[in-house]
């Protein structure tokens, strides 16, 4: 009883002190010139950007897969929706090395434990350049919950 009262402030702090996520408004990250993207081909791209978390600013490196067709551009986060391992491109589409989930080229789960299809990221084209809204989603859930 006494112990729980003494530890309450510490537990409250740990429970409520969370890395800032939703407050960052400008998440659009430059992913290069649209014309440089080959048509009808998957490209592995590393996004480099800075992110603020509490007191620190970090250089962040995140992997994405970009596909440009004649009409539109598809971007997938390389983070597997199952347990957050990094997926790899293969002949059928994508595969995860950790628990062997596999995905079709449109991101739909073909086999394995992944609870949802690959996380598609929002894109916009401005002045001939591709911008990707880089977000992370909670792994292991059916619905996409943005967490960072």
Partner 1 sequence: MRPLRRIITVSAIASLLFLGLVILSGWGLSGSYVPSLTDAFPATLYLEKYSSGGHLLRSIHYYSSSGLVFSGFVFLCCFYISGFAAKYRKTWILGVVLYLLIVGSAFTGYVLPLDQNAYWGTKVRLGIVETVPLVGTAIADFLRGGATFNSATLPRFFTLHGSVLAAAIFLCLFLLIHSWKSVFIQYLSDQRFNVTLLVSIILFFILIIRFSAPLELPADPADVEYNPRPDWYFLWLFQFGKYVEWAPWIQSGVLPLLGIGFLFAVPWLRNHGQKRRSAIAVSWCLGWLVFTGLAIIDDKDLPGNPNYSEGMAIGAEKNFNRLCVDCHGPGGLGDGPEAQAFDLPTPDFTAREFWNNIDEQQMIIAVRDGKGNDMPDFSGSLTYEQILALIHHIEKSFKPNYQE
Binding positions for partner 1, rule: CB under 8 A? 14-15, 17-19, 21, 46, 53-56, 58, 61-63, 78, 83-86, 88, 97-99, 112-113, 136, 138-140, 147-148
* Shortest Å distance, C-beta 65 to partner 1: 11
Beta strands 28-33; 73-77: pairing state: unpaired
The residue (of 54 and 127) whose beta carbon lies closer to partner 1 is 54
Minimum distance from residue 10 beta carbon to partner 1 (Å): 10
Q: Among residues 124 and 138, whose Cβ is nearest to partner 1?
A: 138
3-state class (DSSP) for residue 29:
strand
Phi, psi of 74 (to 5 degrees): -110, 135
What does each C-alpha distance from 97 to 33, 48, 89, 111, 136 come to in angstroms?
Answer: 31, 24, 11, 13, 19
Give least dist CB 126 to partner 1, A. 25
Closest distance between partner 1 and the C-beta of residue 136, in Å?
6
5 or 55, CB closer to partner 1? 55
What's the per-residue H, E or C state across 77-121?
A: ECECCCCCCECEECCCEEECCCCCCEEECCCCEEECCCCCCCCEC
Tokens of 11: 């537990």
- Please give the structure tokens belonging to residue 7: 């530890």
Q: How far is the CB of 71 from partner 1 (least distance, A)?
A: 28
Give whichever of 33 and 99 is closer to partner 1, judged by the CB atom: 99
Kindly tell me which of 2 and 39 has the beta carbon lying closer to partner 1: 2
């Amino acid at each position: 009883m006494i112990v729980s009262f003494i530890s309450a402030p510490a537990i409250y702090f740990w429970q409520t002190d969370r890395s800032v996520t939703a407050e960052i408004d400008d998440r659009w990250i430059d992913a290069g010139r649209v014309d440089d993207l080959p048509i009808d081909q998957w490209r592995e791209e590393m996004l480099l950007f800075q992110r603020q978390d509490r007191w620190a600013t970090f250089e962040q490196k995140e992997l994405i897969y970009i596909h440009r067709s004649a009409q539109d551009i598809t971007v997938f986060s390389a983070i597997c929706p199952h347990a957050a391992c990094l997926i790899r491109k293969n002949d059928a589409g994508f595969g995860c090395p950790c628990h062997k989930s596999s995905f079709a080229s449109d991101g739909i789960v073909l086999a394995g434990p992944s609870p949802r299809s690959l996380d598609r990221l929002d894109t916009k084209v401005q002045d001939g350049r591709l911008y990707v809204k880089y977000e992370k989603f909670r792994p292991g859930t059916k619905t996409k919950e943005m967490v960072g």
